[in-house]
Amino acid sequence: MVEALGDLLAKPLDAPSSAGIAALRAELDAAARATGAVGGWGLDEPLRLSKHLVTGLLRCPRRALSERSEDLGPSDDVIVGWIVDAAAKLATVSPRRGVTVDAAVAFLSALGDGSVADRLADLGPAAGPLRSDAAARIDRLAASGLSAVGAAWWPRVEEPVRVALAGGTVIVAGRIDVLFGGPPTGRPGVIVEVKGGRWYDGMRADGHLYALMLALRDGEVPASAVTIVSDGTTQVERIRPALLQHAAERLDEAMGVAARLAAGEPPAMSPGAHCQHCPVRADCPAGRTWRPGGAETGA
């Protein structure tokens, strides 16, 4: 967790071997066929997975379904996360000395998402603490070196990637925050995921999943997944075969959970640290009794 992005890209990066990609594809296709038979998915109505849904299904199926079903509205933390995310992308596509909150919000609006600008306008002067929080996080991101990456690395933001399994029975899709290199640049791919909160180990999974998806799409394994966090953490991880295998296993497991839900099984409630920020905790018996440190209260 010590390597900065600039340091990583300044050194020659070995492209990992592409051996094993075909086997991973075959495993995932077989898993998608098997779970598709249980879940009843097909080309007309496939299972659509994103990084959030994969993590959500593995962490707490009840919360994952609830978040998809109800328009809960973004919390202030989420709004700050979106601003930080936009600031990182703006720094990537338009190198500048510093990115302000206003510049990041204007960039988001220009991209077609006016929801953050609307929210800040609705809050009026009450948005002050939120703005200050976002500004502090953007400042900490500045050290990540995103804006200093050379054009030869083909910086692109929100790189879309989509993989169809079992002929389209399961679709896994997402947008990589920032992608450097990869075909046809002649340089190995480097995935960057930007996180607006505080570092925790589970954040790594998103980069692993995207590495797997890029390998399946491009036939080349990216060299690294970098997680840049607004608490100042930069996590650089070389993509090893074991990481891809692990990502494939998570995907397989998520498909299994989804198949059981689609077949009518009630969603499991899996309390944990994620309950602290769960928008449906008030309606969740397991979540209400969960306390940090493992001491659950009596209902």
Partner 1 sequence: MTATATGRTADPVGAADRLRLEARGRIAEALAAAPPGAVDDVYVGWVAAHGAATCPARYRGEGEHGWSFPGWSPPLAAGACGRAALVHHVALADRTGRAPALPMPLDAIRAWMRAIRTGGEAGAGGPPAAERSSVGDWICDVWEAGDSATLAAVAAHAGRWLAGFVRVLGWPLPPQLTLVGPGPTAAPALRWRPAKDSPVTVACGADARLGRVTGAGGFALVVHRVVSGDDGALRDRAAFEAAAGALAIGVVPGSVLITAGDTGERVTVPVDDDVLTLGAQRIVAVVAERAAAVERGFDPSDGTPSAACRHCDHRADCPPGEAWMRGAGRWQGGLPAMPAPTSPDR
Residue from 238, 153, 173, 237 nearest 199 by CA: 237
Question: Rounded to an integer, what distance in angstroms lies between the CA atom of residue 153 and that of residue 158?
Answer: 15
Of 181-220, which residues contact partner 1 (CB under 8 A)? Answer: 182-185, 217-218
170 versus 212: smaller Cβ distance to partner 1:
170
CB of 281 to partner 1, least distance (A): 14
Question: Rounded to an integer, what distance in angstroms lies between the CA atom of residue 223 and that of residue 182?
Answer: 9
48 versus 240: smaller Cβ distance to partner 1:
48
Question: Rounded to an integer, what distance in angstroms lies between the CA atom of residue 80 and that of residue 75?
Answer: 9
Burial class (CB in 10 A: 0-12, 13-18, 19+), 257: buried
The size of the interface with partner 1 (CB under 8 A), counted in residues, is 56
Q: Please give the span between the terminal C-alpha atoms of the chain, in angstroms, as a whole number.
A: 41
Three-state DSSP class for residue 94: coil
CB of 231 to partner 1, least distance (A): 25
1 versus 148: smaller Cβ distance to partner 1:
148
CB of 13 to partner 1, least distance (A): 18
199 versus 271: smaller Cβ distance to partner 1:
271
258 binds partner 1 (CB under 8 A): yes
Are 258 and 51 spatial neighbours (Cβ–Cβ below 8 Å)? no
45 binds partner 1 (CB under 8 A): yes
Binding mask 265-284 for partner 1 (x = CB under 8 A): -xx-----------------
Among 40, 73, 128, 285, contact with partner 1 (rule: CB under 8 A): 40
Question: Rounded to an integer, what distance in angstroms lies between the CA atom of residue 26 and that of residue 22?
Answer: 6
Of 48-87, which residues contact partner 1 (CB under 8 A)? Answer: 48-49, 53, 62, 65-66, 68-70
Token reading at 207: 């980069």
Backbone angles phi, psi at 181, to 5 degrees: 65, -155
Side-chain-side CA neighbours of residue 284 (13 Å): 26
264 binds partner 1 (CB under 8 A): yes
Q: Is the peptide bond before 285 cis (omega within 30 degrees of 0)?
A: no
Among 27, 158, 237, 253, contact with partner 1 (rule: CB under 8 A): 158
Binding site for partner 1 (CB under 8 A): 39-41, 43-49, 53, 62, 65-66, 68-70, 89-90, 93-94, 103, 106-107, 109-112, 151-152, 154-164, 168, 170, 173, 182-185, 217-218, 258, 261-262, 264, 266-267
